[in-house]
Amino acid sequence: MDPLSIVIYVAILLFSVIFHEVAHGLVADKLGDPTARYAGRLTLNPIPHIDLFGSILLPVFLLLINSPILFGAAKPVPVDYRNLRNLKWDMILVSLAGPATNFVLAVLAAIVYRLSPNLSNMGQELLFQTILLNLVLGLFNLIPIPPLDGSKILASLFGFLDRNWMYAILSMEKFGFILIILFLYSGLLNTVLIPPLNFLLNFLLGSNIGI
């Protein structure tokens, strides 16, 4: 990846992960938990959202192992699920808010991409990277590995059967860093993400684009 592409990637990454986290906090606030608002995290200012692992170490790690998929994360917004009006259903809604925001950003960028055939190469690259990165962020966060959003959705669904199962899944978040690194290093990330990623890219852009 050349220096210009890295700059574009980092700018889009910060933009995308901040919107992802703010969406979590906004939905939680609407559903009864003001923790993120009180912590000053419902802001687009990148400084409160920068995370050492997700915003810096993870992208660098993916670059070092020549991963075909590059992404990162912001510092998770604080959510106190005890404040939610309906714990299980509201946890699902809060967890879905982040990935859903990324998918919306990807769709909006794809609309502009397809309706602007005379864009410069820089403009096309910017839009394509926005689409690609937001699809990756949305799909990756839906994987049910703690502490990703998918694990909270899974925990909530199990909670309808037995609340102890829900808490057992949520308790695994302390091992999240190790689980994610193993998932990335083993190559399982590519196996899980690339097929749906390629499908969505082709669907949104109307052409046969593969990663």
Query: With b meaning 16 or more CB within 10 Å and e meaning fewer, what string describes 66-99?
Result: ebebbbbbbbbbebebeebeeebebbbbbbbbbb
Phi, then psi, of 190 in degrees rounded to 5 = -65, -40
Q: Which residues are CB-contacts of 152 (< 8 A; sequence separation ≥ 6)?
A: 91, 92, 94, 95, 170
* Short-list 125, 128, 135, 127, CA closest to 5: 125
Q: Which residues are CB-contacts of 142 (< 8 A; sequence separation ≥ 6)?
A: 99, 148, 149, 150, 153
Which candidate in 17, 20, 21, 156 is catalytic?
A: 21
Number of Cβ within a 10 Å radius of residue 143? 17
Residue with token string 């692992």:
53
How is residue 74 annotated by DSSP?
P
Task: Give the pair of three-digit tokens for residue 195.
Answer: 């097929």
Q: Is 21 a catalytic residue?
A: yes
Alpha-carbon Rg for the chain in angstroms: 17
Active site residues per annotation: 21
